[in-house]
Amino acid sequence: MSSAAERPAAWRAAAGLWRRTGVRQMLLQTLVVAAAFVIAGVLAQASIARLSEAGIRRQVLGEAGSMVEEWRQHGAAHLPHTIRKRSRLWRGFEYGLARPDGRLVEGDPDIVVAAAGWREATAGGRTILAYTQRLPDGSWLSVGQDESVQRRQASAVASALWACGGAGVLIALGVSALLYRRTWLRVDRLAQTAALVSAGDLKVRAPQRRAAKADDIDDLARDFNGMLDRIERLIAQVRQVTSDVAHDLRTPLTRVRHRLERLETAAADHPALAESVRQIDADIAETLRTFDALLHLADIESASTPPGMADLADVAARVTDAYRPDIEESGRSVEARFTSAKVFGDADLLAQLVANLLENAMRHTPTGTRIRVVVEADAGTARLSVVDDGPGVPEHLRAAALAPLVRLEPSRNTPGSGLGLSIVAAVATRHRAQLTLGDAAPGLAVTATFPAAA
């Protein structure tokens, strides 16, 4: 018997199998085969029983006719002798002869009745199907046959049918499993490809067989790959346009900043004018930072993750220590708890992820907020969490917070490009990590769950 700890895992495995369409179809086909065998077995058993009883009735009527012929040829006095003789030879029949008043003359008293017709009688634990008829002199002649032999034969035939049915069900189940197994594997590979695409990897493609062996699953894979090709081209075009726009605008804006610097120097004797120039310069600097962030985001999304390995705890500790003075100077506090967690990826990109989360926490929380940075590892995963006890993000806005250039503040007066969490999401996607925004009650909890390196 499985332990309590093992049972839930078995149930989860069974539930996982039941979710497979192929498994349900296989079981449905097996049930149909089993139902067909059951119906066939019941009908066959009923037919055998009916034919067996009809055969007994024919034999009994034939034997009764033979006894009547003996009575006619040799008289009533000879009939008891015939019954004794045939009973000794045991031709498979039971006999009974009674006077007109029903008193037994010869034979088995259990089958003798003073009434014509068929009936079932029990004698010595056996069930006998007997036929009684009245002779011309008024006496009663009963002839019967034991049904147990035929019933045993019918039962043996029925058992053979059920055994064949069970074997047929097992064969159908095995053949279905063999036929569907390859289909399940192909569908699984297609589902795995879709999961990788959903995680942000647009380079993967669904496997396809040669055109000579192609079927509907290959057609689906071909159409799926065609869709991915088109999506990848469109996204590449959007990224290229974004990158080109950012590059093209940075140069003239940089020249404008240089001119503003000269103008600010020239306007030193005019404080109001100098202040206006400084404000314009600050706005242009913020715009340039936004362009830089857009270019950085495009680089992250288009690059492949290096096959290196990094300790997430070391990266988070280094970045947290670097930001600690700024966090504390801003009137906030930071706490850290790190457990070594090795992951595959780029340490610089991971550092960018931690830095953006800390900057996001500082930018969107009030003075006095406590920020916690936690790295832990368990069950083949590594988790990085940055949690604050600030105002948090409403649940219906959390998905939007990860989109590029989205600002949750309606007035958009808070400094920032709206790309901080987008870069975090891009880095997480590049490292096959799952990024979630949750409620810290109060505050926001941002957690990135990475597959741990072996």
Domain boundary among 298, 325, 350: 298
Query: Minimal CA–CA distance to 138: which of 105, 184, 177, 164?
Result: 105
Which one has a higher pLDDT value, 287 or 193?
Answer: 193
* Model pTM score: 0.46
Residue 396 sits in the same domain as residue 348: yes
Q: Which residue bears the tokens 């010869």?
A: 106
Residue 119 lies in a domain: yes
Question: pLDDT per residue over 415-454, tens digit each?
Answer: 555 566 777 888 887 778 888 888 888 888 999 998 877 6
Residue 433 sits in the same domain as residue 347: yes
Predicted local distance difference test score (pLDDT) of residue 320 = 92
Report H helices in 130-215. 148-198
Residue 313 sits in the same domain as residue 433: yes
| pLDDT reading at 132 higher than 90 | yes
Question: pLDDT per residue over 277-328, tens digit each?
Answer: 778 877 776 666 665 655 555 655 555 555 678 889 999 999 999 989 999 9
Helices (H) and strands (E) in the chain, counts: 10, 12
CATH number at residue 240: 1.10.287
Residue 278 lies in a domain: yes
Query: Minimal CA–CA distance to 145: which of 22, 61, 220, 26?
Result: 61
Residue 442 sits in the same domain as residue 353: yes
Domain boundary among 128, 148, 168: 148
Predicted local distance difference test score (pLDDT) of residue 161 = 76
- Residue 370 phi, psi (nearest 5): -100, 130
Count the domains in the chain. 3
Domain that holds residue 365: 304-451
| pLDDT reading at 257 higher than 60 | yes
Domain boundary among 148, 169, 198: 148
Residue 290 sits in the same domain as residue 316: no
Question: pLDDT per residue over 385-400, tens digit each?
Answer: 999 988 878 777 777 6
| AA identity, residue 109 | P
Rounded-to-integer distance, Cα 306 and Cα 46, Å? 73
- In angstroms and rounded to an integer, the radius of gyration of the C-alpha atoms of the chain is 46
